[in-house]
Structure 1
């Protein structure tokens, strides 16, 4: 191993660690790594920003633009009424919703599919009284499974196809991934639909072990004079009232001292954390004052929950700075946080992906604000009727999908035509849509491409393959592919799937050459492993959102995702070996 190869391995290891820590913005880590690679002379100056001109990045941007249009065409809102009239079992409804999500994810990115189906799914759950915990994980996992099926289902598929093009002169066709992806997706959707009805039973069934915790929120409430909390020490709030106190404010100043010595007085303001039902009960009983709102008497006044999406402009902002709500008379009354860091008062809380805001204001104002800041409401009203025009964007997109599917045009050209058609027909405002794109993901992807290329050009992939050949018989038909699939599945819970595909694709090609096998088989395994991400709530944005929305524990992902990951691993190895080797 030479100095260049050692430097690249150290750089990759450092970047993977920083990505997994999730303490720095992914685009900052990626750009820092890109510049470090140039300073280490891993690629020339004219290759530093070559990733931004990559067909992979262009296709991802086009899909993100298209998804913004499709997400607004809410003709899936009528699903609740259709399921209600069909009188299906809960298992059939869950499997159907997951199947629809998986189908949508075949043709767009996983987050887009999840965002389109989530409001409709929650509406179905409300109408049919299906527990939310039985619905959210299946559609999150189904969106990931659907991405296994097509070239554009996930950026990882586009990246391995680009690697195959560079290695052989021809990439994967649009549905080449479906040979393995479709059976795995179908079996996985059936399995997770069955599992959730057993793992998350309804409240009136017998449950072995402790019941799942309700969603916990953080809120700041005033103590009225007649409240039973008056005279209670903060240390007794948890046992007596189910509240975990974080701060006590009196006359605008913090009350300092130990919890055992701080006593609540009338007129104090309490910043506390607890189940949302606990706050509701205490407010109803007069123990806490519900937040006053100037629009509370208006007929269209609403209390709506909304989740902070990965592309939201609110990420990193503090509640006090949310002018998008304040300017419209909307109050943030509570927040459910994935990992609350409570320092200061309620207005000092900082938002992150997956946080759920409880908003009060007029319905139209909230809808307008959520659209502007890219947050997703967790409940929708049933549609009065679907507009005929809502089908047009899907028809245009379907036509665009057929072009690369039949080899007529390359994906980036076909979807450029779709973007143009949507803009001409005024379904897409390109200027506004470009501002709403999740640019950190795009920048990260473009910055990682030159680094991934360096893995091949510096001979690092060959070195890694040679090391692994000393402990794994990679010349055997299944061994090398099985190892790559395992490594990809092990990395993707901690590193985004695009990075996994970029790093492992050159190594997969070296494996194939060493074993004298077609590289397509190994690259399919890498792409599949990068998307079989079910074991943690932080490996993929969909799972992060699902954890917040469904009030899951980390262990719930292991219980539900473990069998699914094992099934996906076994099926992928066997099918890829049968079809591609």
Structure 2
């Protein structure tokens, strides 16, 4: 083992470990690793930032720009009412919406497809009284499955195609992935739709006349009026008497620090507590609690909206006290559903992360403007989306670009460039503003990881790893080799993003193919498929993170629903790759 190979292995293991603990922003980890690789001599200076000019990165940027336009058309808004009136079974509705999500995901990134159909699914849940838990997770899985069907469905597919092009001179065509991805996606969507109503059955609601009320656990800060039944109660009594989990008691703007049993609530105290949103609604209606609102609050023409913090949101990492985007519009954050159970300080000290849900109160137009600015997704729009076109023309322009790619007339990067230019000329997109709104952390991470992945091949590290594995396993047998590559990709992707999995494993997969004298296409398809089949954890893919927050799932829920889907997807993908590509 050479110094370059040893240092690259150490660097990769260290980066994967930091990605796993999720304490440092992904773009910081990627740039740090990129510069460390240069310092270790793994690539020359002219290759350090080569990833930023890679066609893969440019294509991802173009897809994200197109998604911004398509998300604003809101052509699916009427679908919820039609589905609700169709009197279909739970399974049929979940299967239909999952199928729509999977289809959209074929042509755009997974998060974009999920964010387009999620509000529709939640609206259907409200209208039909089907539990939202039956919808959200299957939609997340469907978006991941749909991404396996086409070249542009996920960055992992673009990356393995780029690796193939560097190795053989020609990459994958637009729908080469469909031979494996489409059957796996169809089978997976059907299984997820069948499992959801059985794993998350309907339960009797305690408030039948409030079909739109949230059942999630919400953290909020409340004033205690003099007439409240909480006055005189011990904090230790709140869970049993009022179904409230107290976190802090504030009196005269100072924390009350005695032990919980000795802390007695007095009038005009402020209580930081967590409970089902239904409980808060009941106590508020009974004047037992009053919302702590921002100064300058206007009572007229207000509404309540739930919004989820998206991966590209500017709010990620911010504390509630610093959210000028809401305060400047007299929009109050009155509640927070956190993914993390950790609560420190007062309500305005809470730090936001991906998948957290904000409970907002304010004027509908003000909430819409604020959510547009900070890139959060309203789970039930307070009014028609700002800038919504309701037009089919952006879809037609995008379809023309897809057709040009499918027939081989234009490469993906050129076809999507033409789509973005046409959308700009037709005033459907302001490129300057759209570029500012891009999910730059993902783009920077992707660009920074490309030179590191290339070093796996140029330093011979991929060949070394493949040779070492060949002494343990009979990888010359194509079925065994494919099974190992697919398994490695699937066990890595729950812990690091799928683009990193594709970058790291593509050179190793090519070496597997070389050792066994097999087609590299088969092994690279296995990498791409495995990198997208991420159903076991809520943190492996941002879609699952969002689903956990919106659907109030536990970690065990992903194991129960994702386990059978993972097994089905693994073996069906393995058989299809072997039959089609070898």
- Structure-2-length-normalised TM-score: 0.96
Task: Give runs of aligned pairs for residues 81-480 of structure 1, distance below 5 A.
Answer: 81-204=81-204, 214-291=215-292, 297-298=299-300, 300-380=301-381, 390-480=391-481
Between the two proteins, the alignment pairs up a number of residues equal to 572
- In 2, the alpha carbon distance for the partners of 1:168 and 1:565 equals 31
- In 2, the alpha carbon distance for the partners of 1:354 and 1:387 equals 24
Alpha-carbon contact 2:305-2:381 (below 8 Å) kept: no
Secondary structure of 1:333 counterpart: strand
- In 2, the alpha carbon distance for the partners of 1:156 and 1:524 equals 10
- Structure-1-length-normalised TM-score: 0.96
Measured after TM superposition, the shift of residue 296 of structure 1 is: 5.7
Partner of 2:210: none
Once the two structures are superposed, residues 163-219 of structure 1 have per-residue CA deviations (whole angstroms, 9 ceiling, x without a partner) of: 0000101100000000000000000000000000100000149xxxxxxx9411110
- In 2, the alpha carbon distance for the partners of 1:99 and 1:178 equals 15
Indicate the larger mover: 409-418 or 76-85.
76-85
Measured after TM superposition, the shift of residue 285 of structure 1 is: 2.3
Alpha-carbon contact 1:161-1:171 (below 8 Å) kept: yes
Indicate the larger mover: 231-240 or 440-449.
231-240
- In 2, the alpha carbon distance for the partners of 1:388 and 1:331 equals 28
- In 1, the alpha carbon distance for the partners of 2:293 and 2:487 equals 54
How large is the RMSD of aligned CA atoms in angstroms?
Answer: 1.6
Indicate the larger mover: 520-529 or 266-275.
266-275
Indicate the larger mover: 183-192 or 274-283.
274-283
- In 2, the alpha carbon distance for the partners of 1:297 and 1:47 equals 58
Secondary structure of 1:77 counterpart: coil
Secondary structure of 1:324 counterpart: helix
Alpha-carbon contact 1:84-1:128 (below 8 Å) kept: yes
Measured after TM superposition, the shift of residue 287 of structure 1 is: 2.0
Measured after TM superposition, the shift of residue 271 of structure 1 is: 0.7
Indicate the larger mover: 340-349 or 128-137.
340-349
360 and 264 in structure 1: CA distance in 2 versus 1, 3 angstrom threshold: same
387 and 470 in structure 1: CA distance in 2 versus 1, 3 angstrom threshold: closer
Once the two structures are superposed, residues 353-376 of structure 1 have per-residue CA deviations (whole angstroms, 9 ceiling, x without a partner) of: 111000000111101111111011
Structure 2 residue ranges without an equivalent (≥5): 206-213
Alpha-carbon contact 2:368-2:382 (below 8 Å) kept: no
Measured after TM superposition, the shift of residue 471 of structure 1 is: 1.2
Secondary structure of 1:427 counterpart: coil
Alpha-carbon contact 1:78-1:383 (below 8 Å) kept: no
Measured after TM superposition, the shift of residue 488 of structure 1 is: 0.5
Measured after TM superposition, the shift of residue 130 of structure 1 is: 1.4
Secondary structure of 1:478 counterpart: helix
Measured after TM superposition, the shift of residue 87 of structure 1 is: 2.4
- In 1, the alpha carbon distance for the partners of 2:491 and 2:136 equals 24
Partner of 1:16: 16
- In 1, the alpha carbon distance for the partners of 2:390 and 2:497 equals 36
Structure 1 residue ranges without an equivalent (≥5): 206-212
- In 1, the alpha carbon distance for the partners of 2:235 and 2:325 equals 34
Secondary structure of 1:358 counterpart: strand
- In 2, the alpha carbon distance for the partners of 1:84 and 1:39 equals 59
Once the two structures are superposed, residues 349-398 of structure 1 have per-residue CA deviations (whole angstroms, 9 ceiling, x without a partner) of: 111111100000011110111111101111136979x9886211111011
Alpha-carbon contact 1:355-1:548 (below 8 Å) kept: yes
Partner of 1:508: 509
Measured after TM superposition, the shift of residue 292 of structure 1 is: 5.4
Task: Give runs of aligned pairs for residues 500-579 of structure 1, distance below 5 A.
Answer: 500-579=501-580
